[in-house]
Structure 1
């Protein structure tokens, strides 16, 4: 089909929106992501429904709510994807490529990608992983855990053992640039997925010292949050930092410094991708979508990791840019989510969005800021006592925890830092929110969320401390 745009989907792993210049951050240097935003539209209220890697990524790939796939956590057991995004785009005549971290199972299940150049977070066999083969070919096959040391060091700030040009961040961008240059004469869809800034936080030199620890702002938190009510946060903190009460302010600043350094390292590589599109004359006719699978708490509210519905975990960047089609340098406040990436890309390629998709084409609001695509977002994460739900609408966010039937309500217009839980003063509104969740899950027949005509609940319990989770203590022996 003539006039089809090239399509480039760029995803970062564990990138919270508020660390980017284009989302108001004045401390972390991300000039190339800002450059991308200035050539397109920033969506200010984009959310990851199930803020953890596998559900978020497969929800985007399938265009449906993650729980419809049977995914409410990082399980690898899920339902078949009926209309995967790359397959739909390929059917419109595109060459389709996957570069970087996909987190598919089986690893090389292609879902319609013509070619996959993989750099997975945890590889089981070197033959499955193009990046590991690249390291071995370039004399660095001896490096154990090239994405950073895990296990007891999982949240310990590190300096990468690799030179910058061999780091997975640079490799992912370089492979993307090669594919752009080799596909100048046919429409392409490239899904470029950076492993970082997912922990371990291991930027190369000079990014590991780019942000002096003495200048790092401390997390948003208050003393009353020191023993979090969120069951998932409690567990995450215990296995990642072995008790949040034993992490010093200096430790937290060091963690944040290395996280910021990882982001600036990615930003440089995104600049190289944009330069390649411009040098090849393809930039104006390339639709770029930049986003993340979820965020990172980074010490806010005395929490680390994701798996929660605080903004730092669930709110994600969403930038859409195509200079010859979309407005430039504008913002939108419509609620959007990762399935909207699915719909937007399929429509841009010339295809039709399957009726079962919950995604909306963002081009409509891109061209008309008055259009509303949804009034609310309903989201869910976890099993058993760790299960929780979010209802996000207007200025408000409601969160329900099955562990003890606890509720939180925040007015994000007056309290954007989520420090004032107003649930106790808004009982009638909270009751309405619960009923909306019940009605929604009954409609979807999502029985895991329900106990008859009520949301599921369990007696309140605080988990017993377990210490560090075994985060893959040794690199698989098949790698070397």
Structure 2
């Protein structure tokens, strides 16, 4: 066969490969889609995705906080391999991940002949770290320096295209003491960060290029502050919202991260009315993002690409939203660590399938590379193969949070319906049957000591195999005397404009002239 014919056949094979679209939200709980049981929320476009493919009802973050989750999905590796266990990255860690496990997903897809683009929140450290996309347009939550705000594609868009709004310090809503207060977006719905990300994604997905594409759309919402734009801010009646599910505070706050985080974000004393109002605004954020997803789906259909595009929708982690006397995430309760996970592949995955497989963010690497025709599972499992019966589903799933070798290190082990939460702080354990007790109100460790022992052994083996020696002490898990963490506030102002916290003297704010930049 001539080389020319081989080149033609190779090009035809490449052209036949589907596009791959990853759609990610930030801090969206698993129970926030109407099609999978929440009748209080409106998600017509996410419901379209549910009908289009498979729903994985036992999907989890590898670590229930932003930065490590995002490194897991981009590297296909657990925190035990990335060495990212919280919202900090060891110096030089961004590059060392590639040395440990290989290129990030965007670069891997580029090597497979895909044009690649990413839009939205990446939350890399440093903020402008490269992930291998041909086009990478960032929209981060916070700007720690003037350079970061000027380098942020969304902030630049506001400054250039809508300078009348550039005076706003917090483009996504106020933080600090307003972090868990119901708000409305300071911007019209047409130019919020979600609308901007959707517009850019539509442009990139429908641009003229014969190559298949890998696209990543990362929405900042529904991460707090809950500030949906008009009219989504008044879409849900707080009086119709369910109250948080709370157990014994002694159990709920056994993980010291929960009371510590409550205080850090000024949410240590949220009453029932405020909890309902917050959930109403949270749902408004999700429904607004749902409308943005609808525009993406419509664009694919209008451009004739819908049947040739693999779509995966997921979140990086959930939000306690008042459950277990807690707000924010960084906990292994279901509300914090379990996520929505939808996968569709027309002609390959049967639509309308509901799955109980244990899946994780590390599995996304394998999904994308399988679609590209050259599977690399990294530390994930073959989800596509499991759907067809060609591969076995995962038997045991692990999650990690907190630096190993400290009292903040903790882990989750899920096997079958049983879930173990182990904490280095005091060596405390919680065991739940999440099928019988989905709200995790009745721990079972006293009744099932052998299950605890088996899951603890599995955790020990996983850490040993990964070489995480700081988490170990001789032949056991390293434990520390139980202590309560000192409480501190976290101020989250616009440092790019010289605002670092509340002033010692109130008059200083009145007399301080804010730094407002013109067109970039």
2:400 to 374, 380, 386: 380
1:396-422 alpha-carbon deviations (Å, 9 max, x no partner): 101111111111100111111111101
Cα distance change on mapping 1:224 and 1:429 into 2, 3 Å: same
Which residue in the other structure is 1:80 paired with? 97
Q: TM-score, normalised by structure 1?
A: 0.95
Which residue in the other structure is 1:67 paired with? 80
Within-5 A mapping of 1:439-450: 439-450=461-472
C-alpha RMSD over aligned residues? 1.7
Which residue in the other structure is 2:33 paired with? 20
- Matching of residue 300 in structure 1 with residue 323 in structure 2: yes
- Matching of residue 429 in structure 1 with residue 440 in structure 2: no
Q: Kindly state the Cα deviation for residue 101 of structure 1 after the two structures are TM-superposed.
A: 0.5
Q: Which moved more, 1:263-272 or 1:233-242?
A: 233-242
- Matching of residue 220 in structure 1 with residue 240 in structure 2: no
Q: 2-side partners of 1:158 and 1:226: how far apart?
A: 31
1:43-91 alpha-carbon deviations (Å, 9 max, x no partner): 1111112111111001111111122111111113223322210111111
- Matching of residue 153 in structure 1 with residue 175 in structure 2: no
**Secondary structure of 2:265's aligned partner:** helix
**Secondary structure of 2:97's aligned partner:** coil
Q: Kindly state the Cα deviation for residue 19 of structure 1 after the two structures are TM-superposed.
A: 1.2
| Residues 25 and 220 in structure 2, CA contact (< 8 A), matched pair in contact too | yes
Q: 2-side partners of 1:399 and 1:35: how far apart?
A: 35
Rg larger in structure: 2
1:231 to 234, 253, 256: 256
2:114 to 90, 94, 109: 94
How many aligned residue pairs are there? Answer: 474
Which residue in the other structure is 2:312 paired with? 289
| Residues 376 and 391 in structure 1, CA contact (< 8 A), matched pair in contact too | yes
Which residue in the other structure is 2:158 paired with? 135
Which residue in the other structure is 1:116 paired with? 136
| Residues 382 and 391 in structure 2, CA contact (< 8 A), matched pair in contact too | no
Q: TM-score, normalised by structure 2?
A: 0.88
Q: Kindly state the Cα deviation for residue 371 of structure 1 after the two structures are TM-superposed.
A: 4.8
2:424 to 396, 402, 407: 402
Q: Which moved more, 1:442-451 or 1:92-101?
A: 442-451
Which residue in the other structure is 1:240 paired with? 265
Cα distance change on mapping 1:272 and 1:473 into 2, 3 Å: closer
Q: Kindly state the Cα deviation for residue 103 of structure 1 after the two structures are TM-superposed.
A: 1.1
Q: 2-side partners of 1:207 and 1:179: how far apart?
A: 27
Q: 1-side partners of 2:84 and 2:413: how far apart?
A: 18
Q: 1-side partners of 2:495 and 2:187: how far apart?
A: 18
- Matching of residue 312 in structure 1 with residue 335 in structure 2: yes
- Matching of residue 322 in structure 1 with residue 340 in structure 2: no
Q: Kindly state the Cα deviation for residue 479 of structure 1 after the two structures are TM-superposed.
A: 6.8
- Matching of residue 462 in structure 1 with residue 484 in structure 2: yes
Q: Kindly state the Cα deviation for residue 437 of structure 1 after the two structures are TM-superposed.
A: 1.3
Where in structure 2 are there 5+ consecutive unaligned residues? Answer: 1-13, 499-514
